[in-house]
């Protein structure tokens, strides 16, 4: 199907005359906005958080991996942030990068996506491209977004265009940014595919076109489910090998010397980040709509979500071996970010570990060089605390130091030398030259 809007929009994109609108200026949306701004596009960023909007327009950043100098450069390159969604008609391409959490019953919560699409629909005009990047179950773009957008006057593929292109953000890893990774794109129709492919082709090294939005949606779920299942495997082996007196970390290091048929995954205190702990459950939910139970994925979820309880049991046993109960013991958690060297706390197991320890009566503190103050978390609204500075005296007065995230900024020799008891969930003390007094791997 050919129409005037297709060629006109492609021409604007190629000439960098198109305005790119991005809804959601978080860990996905803000790097995307930077990528388009750096390639010469005018970028209009939308967010419901007026504090973020004001900070960005002042040239400030709230994400560690994006320095303020980058925001200031973006501002000089025609980037503007706004909380006025009535300006969505100003954008030629609108990309949705909002959270897709789970409900308490572990079902998809598409509230942010639906609200974003409805806001777009109110201002939708001919000649616009709409792309969903938020991770979701296969069928969301066609069955949830499209019915809200399409009306009697505007038809998809003729008047406006629709696609799904999953984000591939790896916070803290500069080698895995937009400039280095292929981008999967699934258009609703050939015109949508052509336009979306043209747009992304100007900011990424390779566009991988697929036959439909459903394939692109399923691709993202597969990527994250693959990691979740393999992490569950090593987490289960960690528990088994611990009972057998075998160091799972040494086993993995030995196994990874095999140059084929094996990829190393590592255990931890639980899954973190917005993707891996959540996305597989989107697939299990949609599978039930087709009369199927995804037993493999659900089992992996059970294993991974049980890890915080396992860690607390190791802390309890370790304190008990020293003649101390958990109740009244001073426990410091090292690292509240979900992975090393980032300031991203989303779904971090540190919050559950903290709440479990507090429930048992422990006197809990934490240190995280990247998170000086605990942010408000939807699932942990009562956890309010500031990072306690690390010092020999502070470490020495703890009954237990629990390593949750192995930030490179931590002085492992200082920790090993002064902490009387360390429960290490990341094999972090392998980096220390000083031998710790009492270490338990969990």
Of 386, 398, 395, nearest in space to 413 by CA: 395
333: which strand partners?
366, 402
Q: How many CB atoms lie within 10 A of CB 167?
A: 20
Best CA proximity match to 228, nearest among 262, 265, 181: 265
CA distance 327 to 316: 10
Q: Which of 3, 97, 275, 404 is catalytic?
A: 275
**H/E element holding 279?**
helix 279-289
* Backbone angle region of 259, left / alpha / beta, with phi > 0 → left and psi within -120 to 50 → alpha: alpha
β-strands 183-187, 160-164 pairing:
antiparallel
Burial label for 57, CB within 10 Å (0-12, 13-18, 19+), is: middle
Q: Which of 195, 19, 225 is nearest to 123 (CA)?
A: 19
Within 128-212, residue ranges assigned H as helices are: 140, 146-149, 190-201
Residues with Cβ within 8 Å of 359's Cβ and at least 6 positions away in sequence, in order, are none
Residues whose CB is less than 8 angstroms from the CB of residue 322 and which lie 6 or more positions away in sequence, other chains included: 399, 420, 421, 438
Active site residue 97: no
**Which sign, positive or negative, has the C-alpha torsion 112, 113, 119, 120?**
positive
CA dihedral 277, 283, 285, 291 (to 10 degrees): -150
**Token pair of 155, please?**
């038809």
The residues carrying an active-site annotation are 275
């Amino acid at each position: 199907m050919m129409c005037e809007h297709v060629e006109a929009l492609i021409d604007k994109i190629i000439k960098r005359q198109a305005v790119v609108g991005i809804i959601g200026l978080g860990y996905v949306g803000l790097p995307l906005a930077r990528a388009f701004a750096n390639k010469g596009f005018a970028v209009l960023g939308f967010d419901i958080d007026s504090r973020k909007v004001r900070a960005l327009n002042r040239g400030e950043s709230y994400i560690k991996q994006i320095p303020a100098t980058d925001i200031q450069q973006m501002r000089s390159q025609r980037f503007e942030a706004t909380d006025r969604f009535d300006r969505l008609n100003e954008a030629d391409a609108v990309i949705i990068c909002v959270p897709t959490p789970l409900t308490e019953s572990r079902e998809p919560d598409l509230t942010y996506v639906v609200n974003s699409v409805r806001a777009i629909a109110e201002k939708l005009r001919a000649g616009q491209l709409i792309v969903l990047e938020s991770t979701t179950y296969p069928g969301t773009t066609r069955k949830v977004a499209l019915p809200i957008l399409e009306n009697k006057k505007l038809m998809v593929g003729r008047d406006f265009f629709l696609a799904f292109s999953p984000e591939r953000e790896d916070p803290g890893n500069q080698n895995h940014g937009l400039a280095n990774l292929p981008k999967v794109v699934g258009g609703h129709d050939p015109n949508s595919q052509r336009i979306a492919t043209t747009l992304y082709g100007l900011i990424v090294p390779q566009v991988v076109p697929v036959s439909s939005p459903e394939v692109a949606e399923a691709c993202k779920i597969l990527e994250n489910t693959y990691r979740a299942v393999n992490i569950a495997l090593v987490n289960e082996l960690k528990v088994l090998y611990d009972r057998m007196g075998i160091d799972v970390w040494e086993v993995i290091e030995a196994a990874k010397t095999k140059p084929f048929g094996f990829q190393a995954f590592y255990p931890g205190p639980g899954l973190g980040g917005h993707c891996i702990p959540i996305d597989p459950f989107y697939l299990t939910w949609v599978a039930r709509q087709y009369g199927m139970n995804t037993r493999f994925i659900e089992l992996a979820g059970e294993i991974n979500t049980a890890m915080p309880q396992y860690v607390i049991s190791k802390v309890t046993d370790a304190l008990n071996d020293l003649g101390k109960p958990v109740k009244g013991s001073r426990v410091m958690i090292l690292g509240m970010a979900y992975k090393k060297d980032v300031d991203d706390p989303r779904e971090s197991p540190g919050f559950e570990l903290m709440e479990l320890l507090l429930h048992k009566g422990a006197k809990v503190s934490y240190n995280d060089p990247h998170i000086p103050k605990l942010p408000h978390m939807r699932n942990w609204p009562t956890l309010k605390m500031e990072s306690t500075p690390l010092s020999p005296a502070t470490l020495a007065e703890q009954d237990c130091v629990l390593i949750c995230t192995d930030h490179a900024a931590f002085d492992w020799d200082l920790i090993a030398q002064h902490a009387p008891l360390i429960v290490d969930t990341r094999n972090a003390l392998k980096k220390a030259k000083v031998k710790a007094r009492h270490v338990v791997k969990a």
